[in-house]
Structure 1
Amino acid sequence: MPLLEVSNLEVCFGLRSGAVKALRDVSFTLERGERLGVVGESGAGKSVLGFSILNLLSRPGHISAGSVRFEGKDLATLAPEELRSIRGNRISMIFQDPMMTLNPVLTIGVQMVECLKAHRKISTKDATYIALQKLKQVQMPSPETRLEQYPHELSGGMRQRIVIAIGLLLDPDIIIADEPTTALDVTIQAEIMDLMLNLCEQNNVALILITHDLGVVSQVSQRMLVMYAGRIIEQGPTKEIINDAQHPYTQGLMNALPQMAIPGQKLNQIKGTMPPLQRIPKGCSFNPRCEYVLEVCKHNLPAFTQSGNCQVACHLVAELNQEKLLVKEV
């Protein structure tokens, strides 16, 4: 049994103009200790997926179909008390902005101790000792001093290390990291990602890394999901997708990387923009932006087709695979 199994997940947001689907038929699994990357443009549904796993959606957002099973338990149907024993304890989330995560009027030590005491029967002395050890684990300089400081007294990189340390406090089985390095400079980004990678490997913690940075995903994750307009359009081993992307959207993301451009010329980009949830195109949602669009793409939603070790939701890939089979039979 997988550690986490998401099956046919659908998330809706009720608006005055009617309900819109932010996630559509999302399915994947996560094994213990596995590192999974989730990539796509802004508005693809990456963060909604992260919040949905922990059932942290605020109204009018809600899970309208499908299931999120952790060790066989459907998190979407658990009672609040039972969900609380898993959220933050067995599954931790590292949010995009540490200043939004940390309480500005409490010291780092108080916040870490409160987190431990909320989930465990433990003395303040023992909780402080564990907090100190976790700060050392994330290579925080002068950890004893940091426990007495407030978030605003620390640099962005330090705050992010503290958020990671809080995520590790209760020895979780899964960490969901939502754009954990967005607000940091490139050098600190590399340090934080190396730190997270080492911590996950040492503690056999599964990681779901949500990001728009394909470079980070290629270095950290073993498997990846590519999302577009609330749906997974390609998934498989990271190296295979990076080296031979099948879906035109994934190819566009790869070509848009700065290192793919010719020096002195404009960067490559995918034409058009992500469609709003109220106006998702019929058929393949990427069809208005796709340079390989077929007539069937405008009317029929593509099913997943196997391509190597990857699954791709694309009519063109399905047709090419069918042609290859016919050639082999001849």
Structure 2
Amino acid sequence: MALLDVSNLNVCFGLKSGLVKALYDVSFRLERGERIALVGESGAGKSILGFSIVNLISKPGFIESGSIKLDGKELTSLSNRQLRHVRGKRIAMIFQDPMMTLNPVISVGIQMVEAIRSHTPMSKKDAKKIALDRLAQVQIPSPELRFEQYPHELSGGMRQRVIIAVAMILNPDIIIADEPTTALDVTIQAEILELLKHMCEVCNVALILITHDLGVVSRIAERTMVMYAGRIVEEGPTLEIINDPQHPYTQGLLSALPQMALPGQRLNQIEGSMPSLMNHPKGCAFHPRCKYATEKCSNAQPNYIYSGISTVACYMVEDMLEEFSEYRDL
């Protein structure tokens, strides 16, 4: 049994103009201790998927259908009170901006102690000891001093280390990290990601890393899922995705990395933009931007097929595999 099993998940938003769908039949499994990445442009549905797992979607959003199981237990049917025992304790989240997560008028230590005592009947003294141990584990110098300080007294990298410590403080099974290094400079980004990877390995915690940077996932994730317009379009081992991308969208994301262009050359880019929820194209959502698109791409969504050890939803790949199969049979 997988630690997390998401099956045929559909998420909608109820607007005055009607229902608009943000996620389309999303399915994946996460094993204990596994690290996976969700990649794609802004608006692909990555954060919505992350929030859906712990039912943190703000109204008018809601889970229309599908299943989210943690150790075989259905999460979509739990009440908010029941979900409080899952959030933080079983599934922790790391958000983009630590200043939006930490309370600016409460010291770091009090926030950590409250996080522990809200889930476990523990004395303040014992909770403080655990909090100090976690601060030391995330390589924060002088944990006793930082414990007494307020978030604004810490640097951006230090605040993100505190957030990782808070996420790990209750020994969760899963951490969902939503663009955890967006507000940090490049050198600090690398340190934070390596720290997050190390903590997950040491504590055998599964990780869902949400990012738009394919250069990041190669260092962190064992498996990668590429999302476009609310649907997973390609999934497979990270090295396979990076070295042999199948879907034209994945190929476009990789070619757009700065290191793929020569010095002084214009950066590569995917023409067009992500469709809005209000104007979702019929058929394959990527076909208006795809140079390989044919008529059938605009008529119906492609099914998932195996290409090597990856799965991909693309008619072009399907046709190529059929042609190869016919050629091999000659």
Is the shorter-chain TM-score for this pair beyond 0.5, marking a shared fold?
yes
List aligned pairs for 1:259-298, cutoff 5 A: 259-298=259-298
Runs (5+) with no aligned partner, structure 1: none
Residue equivalent to 1:301: 301
- Aligned-partner residue type, residue 203 of structure 2: N
- Local SS of the residue matching 2:240: helix
% identity of equivalent residues: 64
- Aligned-partner residue type, residue 323 of structure 1: E
- The answer as to 2:13 corresponding to 1:4 is no
Inter-partner Cα distance in structure 1 for 2:128 and 2:63:
37
List aligned pairs for 1:6-45, cutoff 5 A: 6-45=6-45
Residue equivalent to 1:122: 122
Inter-partner Cα distance in structure 1 for 2:86 and 2:276:
33
Listed one character per residue, the Cα deviations across residues 26-54 of structure 1 (whole Å, up to 9, x for unaligned) are 00000000000000000000000000000
List aligned pairs for 1:222-241, cutoff 5 A: 222-241=222-241
- Local SS of the residue matching 1:78: coil
- Structure 1 residue runs of 4 or more that deviate by more than 6 Å after TM superposition: none
Residue equivalent to 1:54: 54
Post-superposition shift, 1:294? 1.0
Inter-partner Cα distance in structure 2 for 1:195 and 1:117:
25
- Aligned-partner residue type, residue 321 of structure 1: L
Inter-partner Cα distance in structure 1 for 2:5 and 2:260:
35
Runs (5+) with no aligned partner, structure 2: none
- Local SS of the residue matching 1:7: strand
Inter-partner Cα distance in structure 1 for 2:133 and 2:190:
23
List aligned pairs for 1:1-330, cutoff 5 A: 1-330=1-330
Inter-partner Cα distance in structure 2 for 1:57 and 1:136:
33
Inter-partner Cα distance in structure 2 for 1:53 and 1:80:
13
Q: Figure out how many residues of one structure are paired with residues of the other and give that number.
A: 330
- Aligned-partner residue type, residue 265 of structure 1: Q
Listed one character per residue, the Cα deviations across residues 172-221 of structure 1 (whole Å, up to 9, x for unaligned) are 01000000000000000000001011111111100000000101101100
Inter-partner Cα distance in structure 2 for 1:242 and 1:124:
47
- Local SS of the residue matching 1:274: coil
Post-superposition shift, 1:254? 0.3
The RMSD of aligned alpha carbons is 0.6
Inter-partner Cα distance in structure 1 for 2:43 and 2:285:
13
Inter-partner Cα distance in structure 2 for 1:55 and 1:137:
29
Listed one character per residue, the Cα deviations across residues 211-239 of structure 1 (whole Å, up to 9, x for unaligned) are 00101101100001000000000001100
Post-superposition shift, 1:245? 0.2
Listed one character per residue, the Cα deviations across residues 226-267 of structure 1 (whole Å, up to 9, x for unaligned) are 000000000011000100000000000000000101211100
Inter-partner Cα distance in structure 2 for 1:207 and 1:306:
24
Inter-partner Cα distance in structure 1 for 2:324 and 2:204:
40
Inter-partner Cα distance in structure 2 for 1:319 and 1:203:
44
